[in-house]
Amino acid sequence: MCKKLIEARLDPCIKAVVIRIDSPGGSAVASDTIYREVLRLKEAGKPVIVSMGNVAASGGYYISAPATKIVAQPSTVTGSIGVVFGKFNIAETLRQQGINPCTIAEGKNADAQFPFSDWTPEQERLVNSLVDHIYAGFIRKVKALLSSLALFSHAFPAKRQCAGMSEAQVRKIAKGRVWNGKDALAHGLVDCLGGLQDAIALAKTEAGLPLEVSKLQK
């Protein structure tokens, strides 16, 4: 996806981009990488419109945040602004099968993610610190999105009411909670309700392009 976003940014023939997202999320690193490319595309002066499908939650919302506008369907599941991190401890299961795991690690936390033991108190503290850091970054990105709403047109009054939302207020609508498209609009997490064609029309309007559609056969 990042490759396509870079190509769109560098191609002078592309005036606007519509990103269709249908994802429950995934890796924090992957989400942040895509987020940065979406942001760079928008900063290059090309409107970026996100069209949310069935689900655009957690990492799916993370990569939507820097878009020029976000269009969700009424039944879209979005939000889930939160972070999950964990591991399995399969040591006992292996022992029941006659397999005894043995680990040699250089460094007291080198084996923190090995699935053969629980976290030590120190490892758990480090993991919590990591999760808190990622979550705080997610919150800041959503806050930046909502803070930019004062620049949006009168066509999106629900979002304008959320402009300037404090970090504490953002945290109230975060906490990993999911919202349908209608509620997400009320909370200012999306710009408007509609489908893919609505997003395409919005992209043309933002780019100052004619609304007529021409299809080219390859």
Domain-embedded: residue 135: no
pLDDT at 10: 96
Q: How far apart are CA 100 and CA 84, in angstroms?
A: 29
Domain-embedded: residue 90: no
SS3 assignment, position 8:
helix
Q: How far apart are CA 41 and CA 203, in angstroms?
A: 13
pLDDT confidence bin for 47, thresholds 50/70/90: very high
Domain-embedded: residue 96: no
Residue with the bigger pLDDT between 168 and 127: it is: 127
Q: Please say if the pLDDT value at position 60 is more than 70.
A: yes
**Could you report the per-residue pLDDT of 69-89, keeping only the tens digit for each?**
999 999 999 998 888 888 999
pLDDT confidence bin for 164, thresholds 50/70/90: low
Tokens read off for 118 = 């629980």
pLDDT confidence bin for 210, thresholds 50/70/90: confident
CATH number, residue 171: 3.90.226.10
Domain-embedded: residue 110: no
Domain hosting residue 17, numbered range = 1-82+145-207
DSSP 19: E
Number of domains in the chain: 1
Domain-embedded: residue 124: no
DSSP 43-111: HTT--EEEEEEEEEETHHHHTTTTSSEEEE-TT-EEE-----------HHHHHHTT-------SSTTTT
Domain-embedded: residue 55: yes
Active-site residue list: 58
